[in-house]
Amino acid sequence: MYKNRREVIKMLSALGASAGLSQALAQQMQPTQPAAPASLETIPAKTIPWEKGTCAFCEMPLKTPAPGAWMGRTFNPGFFEQTYSQIALKEPQKGMDAIHFESIACMVNYAWVYGLRDGVGTTFYVADRGLYDPAKGSEAVRLLPARQAVYLWGEKRGWVVMDAKVAAFSSKVEAEVFIRRNPDLGRTRILDWQTLLDLAPLPEMNLVSLLAKHAGLLK
């Protein structure tokens, strides 16, 4: 999503970034937002590199690592895969036909930095949490277009990766079923795709440093 200078500075200031960092990151953004397309392109989802793939935004593995294999930490089976997301590309970039993410927030934030727009040479996809069985891991991941999904925000810390607090469902009914089955989520909200884009950059772990890194301010 293209952001003007004032919007970027205001957003980063609210996130706690220094004035210098806010100014520098603002210079990396496009100054104007292009007109909306007459119709949205739908590009087929691409193969997911589960075994060696990493998130294009935060660099965490796409697949839940074996106990102790990543930073010495142990995660519940199927924990990472439940929020896998993808930007399928019409034209390959850097030899890739898709950009992969292990968090919905990572995908939205990456698109926000680089000005990628769903339906304009891309199609954004998310894992359907309602159909997902953590015990089966990557084998159970089913993708749906992000623009067709609804999103459950749950207050509980750490129920999805990167503490992003958001998972995708095919319908409001499926999201409500999940809420009833998981009463410890705390406060919840059901959002649509456009709302996620409007709220970008979405809160998640290390957000300011990740935004700065992708804007070329940090190595």
Domain for residue 13, yes or no?
no
Cα atoms in the 13 Å half-sphere on the side-chain side of 105: 22
The residue segments making up the domain with residue 130 are 37-65+75-206
Q: Going residue by residue through the chain, which has 219 residues, state the pLDDT in tens, using 9 for 90 and above.
A: 444 444 544 555 555 554 444 444 444 444 444 444 568 999 999 999 999 999 999 999 999 999 999 889 999 999 999 999 999 999 998 899 999 999 999 999 999 999 999 999 999 999 999 999 999 999 999 999 999 999 999 999 999 999 999 999 999 999 999 999 999 999 999 999 999 999 999 999 999 999 999 988 876
Domain for residue 4, yes or no?
no
Helix axes 19-28, 5-15, angle to 10 degrees: 140
Domain for residue 31, yes or no?
no
- In degrees, rounded to 5, the angle at the alpha carbon of residue 92 between the alpha carbons of residues 89 and 94 is 125
Element of type H or E holding 150: strand 150-154
The answer, as to whether pTM is greater than 0.95, is no
Domain for residue 55, yes or no?
yes
- Residue 110, both tokens: 């990456």
State residue 15's pLDDT score. 57
| CA–CA distance, 157 with 105 (Å, rounded to integer) | 15
State residue 182's pLDDT score. 96
Count of residues making up the chain: 219
How would you classify residue 202: left for phi > 0, otherwise alpha for psi between -120 and 50, otherwise beta?
beta
- Whether the CB-CB separation of 167 and 82 falls below 8 Å is answered with yes
State residue 202's pLDDT score. 97
Tell me which residue of 30, 1, 176, 162 sits closest to 84, measured CA to CA: 162
- How is residue 74 annotated by DSSP? -
Domain for residue 101, yes or no?
yes
Domain for residue 26, yes or no?
no
Domain for residue 190, yes or no?
yes
Tell me which residue of 57, 10, 5 sits closest to 207, measured CA to CA: 57
CA distances from 41 to 12, 67, 95, 113, 162 (A): 31, 40, 21, 21, 29
Element of type H or E holding 174: helix 172-181
Domain for residue 200, yes or no?
yes
State residue 37's pLDDT score. 57
Cα atoms in the 13 Å half-sphere on the side-chain side of 34: 10
Tell me which residue of 31, 70, 15, 45 sits closest to 207, measured CA to CA: 15
Domain total for the chain?
A: 1
